[in-house]
Amino acid sequence: MERTKCLIIGSGPAGYTAAIYAARANLSPVVIEGLQPGGQLTQTTVVENFPGFPQGITGPELMENMRLQAQNVGADIRSGVVSAVDFDASPLVVTIDDGTEIYADTVIVATGATAKYLGLADEVKYAGMGVSACATCDGFFYRKKVVAVVGGGDTACEEANYLASLASKVYLIVRKPFLRASKAMQERTFANPKIEVLFEHTTEGLYGENGVEGAHLVKRLGQPDETHYDLPIDGFFLAIGHNPNTEVFKKYLATNETGYFTPRDESGVRTLVPGVFVAGDVADPHYRQAITAAASGCKAALEAERYLAAKV
Ligand code: NDP
């Protein structure tokens, strides 16, 4: 059975930063990449807010750089998905989907978050045929077409603005009479002539022969003037938040009501299980930025190093 001082689960900015710090501290970390190597940033275009890149850098390039940097300092990066853990055991046990079990003195969980869907049967029916949860991945297919984005937060506004650079028209479907997005993002959205915000709208379903041709919408659901109508669109984009990827760990690590890990203390990375640390979006419902994820990956690795040093 293989044993490592530090096992890192996840390969977004948190996982790779943890790997860089752990490797430089001679912990010889093993990184299990997970379902989406490189994480959510591999699905974005230009990142302009990660310090050190005055002209910006594409998400995939940034993640490839982080991966290479982690490898160059000695991290052992492997493909695979963690299917089970035993955090009651000492050392900790992590099982990979190919059946491999790894003993670990410390584990850093940096599994990120996954986009949410409304839960409509039509989202499944039209998956890959007009329904997407990633504008920057799929926007290209909607050049000069009409699309809708669901959500009223920063992500929805960002995606609507991005899609407006490609599509002929973008509807933003918002369930409340206001946007939750930051002021600056709201202003950008309202100022974009291609974006039309549909406040107090909910989506009942989608229609179309061989792909999405429109959405069944309700205006002011539950109000006396409730109105049902169909909106012709070619693409339907979800931007209603994310679910943290905590499922495999729930038996051992505490989560809040929305499923995010709740770290033990102000470090933001220590958990109640000795030797287990959390980093990145999986424990951060608030900031969800590459730089904050990277910072928490750094903290988790430093804490893992201190934990091991104290045990000797
Ligand atoms: P948020 O949770 O902020 O917003 C989710 C949006 O989706 C809300 O408008 C919410 O509506 C709506 N929504 C949720 N569920 C449903 C549903 N079932 N039907 C219809 N609408 C629904 O998520 P974001 O992903 O936008 O942002 C998460 C965090 O990341 C935020 O802190 C944000 O500021 C940050 N962020 C920052 C960016 C930046 O700075 N550039 C870019 C992107 C994100 P309601 O308001 O009614 O609850």
Contact (CB, 8 A) for 139 and 163: yes
Two tokens at 116? 């949410």
Strand ranges (E), 233-286: 235-238, 242-244, 276-278
Q: How far does the centroid of ligand 1 lie from the alpha carbon of residue 213, in Å?
A: 25
Mutate to test the pocket of ligand 1, among 117, 154, 179 (most ligand atoms within 8 A of CB): 154
Can you tell me whether residue 15 is helix, strand or coil?
Answer: helix
- Residue 159's pLDDT is what? 94
DSSP 143-199: TTSEEEEE--SHHHHHHHHHHHTTSSEEEEE-SSSS--S-HHHHHHHHH-TTEEEET
How many Å apart are CA 82 and CA 246, to the nearest integer?
Answer: 11
By alpha-carbon position, which residue is closest to atom 13 of ligand 1? 240
- Quick check: bond before 91 cis, omega within 30? yes
Mutate to test the pocket of ligand 1, among 122, 240, 288 (most ligand atoms within 8 A of CB): 240
Contact (CB, 8 A) for 125 and 292: no
Q: Which architecture does CATH list for 121-238?
A: 3-Layer(bba) Sandwich (3.50)
State which residues of the chain have pLDDT below 70.
none
Tens digits of per-residue pLDDT, 237-261? 999 988 999 999 999 999 999 899 9
CATH 3.50.50.60 residue window(s) in the chain: 2-114+242-311, 121-238
Catalytic site includes residue 138: yes
How many Å apart are CA 13 and CA 41, to the nearest integer?
Answer: 8
How many Å apart are CA 25 and CA 72, to the nearest integer?
Answer: 14
- Residue 312's pLDDT is what? 78
Question: Which candidate, 143, 144, 171, places its Cα nearest to that of 232?
Answer: 171
By alpha-carbon position, which residue is closest to atom 23 of ligand 1? 241
- Residue 286's pLDDT is what? 83
How many Å apart are CA 219 and CA 201, to the nearest integer?
Answer: 5
Catalytic site includes residue 137: yes
- Residue 128's pLDDT is what? 82
Residue entry with tokens 């890192």: 8
Cβ-in-10-Å burial (0-12, 13-18, 19+) of 107 comes to buried
- Residue 285's pLDDT is what? 85
By alpha-carbon position, which residue is closest to atom 2 of ligand 1? 241
How many Å apart are CA 173 and CA 161, to the nearest integer?
Answer: 14
CATH number at 2-114+242-311: 3.50.50.60
Global pTM value: 0.79
Contact (CB, 8 A) for 289 and 62: no
Amino acid at 34: G
- Residue 138's pLDDT is what? 84
- Residue 271's pLDDT is what? 97
How many Å apart are CA 34 and CA 134, to the nearest integer?
Answer: 19
Q: How far does the centroid of ligand 1 lie from the alpha carbon of residue 58, in Å?
A: 23
